[in-house]
Amino acid sequence: MKLQFIGVGAAIKTTHHGASAVVNGHILIDTPPACNALLRRYALLVDTIFITHLHGDHLGGLPFLLLEKYVDNNMKTLHIYGPDGLEEKIRLYFEAMFSELDVVKYPIFDSVRFHVVEPEVEIELCGLSVKPVLGRHAITSFGYVFRDDNVCVYFSGDTELCEPVLEAIDEAHCMVIEGTKKSGKLATHMTVEELLPIVRSYPEKMFYITHRQDYDASDISEHNLFFPEEGESCDVEHVKVNFHA
């Protein structure tokens, strides 16, 4: 399974773009405000999107992605998976930001299919299964466990450290996991300090920290803990990870 980090930042207090990643070159996880420009920068053509939750730093780029698809007359079906209320929220974004683009008059949604996800109900894609894992956040928030014939990768989305997160870590070989701050404990989010004992207890697993506010992690050196930058990618194969800077 191939991962590429499209942004690694939190909502605020960061010099990074919002956290987003692409699986196997065509499946996007979350649509932060800059994602449309970043997908273009890395020449990625997305046909499937998984949204973790309906906060703006994970969703704010989706109207622009749909607008560009419409303007390009790209009729290829785009499948968007996410929590209940996602489609209504995107229609409200259009009303608020482009009130003249009446979505009834302009068929922006014609080639878009929204799918509501349910906790633990797996979705089968070409060669992959995807399991939504309910986290604990300010609103309903899912992580996703992607599995192919070889490996299992867990994307946490925004969440506190809680039982479903620990179970997903136990199941997966590789985590793309939020570490909003470096130290302490946060309501609705996780910190690197909280994650470190878990990282050390699974030395054979890889942990990529994303959704980061700006902090200096240069004093943290675990062989299986990484702080990826935008654009970096890795191939996850049989637990062994080849990292491309």
Stretch binding Zn ion (CB under 5 A), from 15-23, 118-126, 151-159, 194-202: 151-159
Smallest separation (angstroms) from Zn ion to the CB of 137: 6
- Nearer CB in complex with Zn ion: 170/214: 214
**DSSP E strands: which ranges in 101-188?**
112-116, 123-125, 128-134, 142-147, 152-155, 174-178
Smallest separation (angstroms) from Zn ion to the CB of 186: 11
Smallest separation (angstroms) from Zn ion to the CB of 158: 4
Smallest separation (angstroms) from Zn ion to the CB of 232: 23
The answer to whether residue 189 forms part of the interface with Zn ion (CB under 5 A) is: no
Smallest separation (angstroms) from Zn ion to the CB of 48: 21
Q: The sheet that has 233-237: what strands, in order across it?
A: 112-116, 78-82, 48-50, 27-29, 20-23, 2-7, 233-237, 240-244
Calpha distance 194→24 (Å, rounded) = 30
Residue from 22, 30, 69, 158 that binds Zn ion (CB under 5 A)? 158
CB 208 within 8 A of CB 8: no
- Nearer CB in complex with Zn ion: 55/181: 55
The answer to whether residue 17 forms part of the interface with Zn ion (CB under 5 A) is: no
Residue from 171, 160, 130 nearest 28 by CA: 130
Supply the angle between the helices 62-71 and 86-97 in degrees, to the nearest 10.
70
Written as six digits, the tokens of 132 are 């939504």
Stretch binding Zn ion (CB under 5 A), from 37-45, 52-60, 128-136, 178-186: 52-60
Residue from 244, 27, 12 nearest 155 by CA: 27
Smallest separation (angstroms) from Zn ion to the CB of 211: 9
φ, ψ at 87 (rounded to 5°):
-60, -45
Stretch binding Zn ion (CB under 5 A), from 95-103, 115-123, 157-165, 197-205: 157-165
The answer to whether residue 178 forms part of the interface with Zn ion (CB under 5 A) is: no
The answer to whether residue 55 forms part of the interface with Zn ion (CB under 5 A) is: yes
Identity at 170, one-letter amino acid code: D
- Residues making contact with Zn ion (CB under 5 A): 55, 158
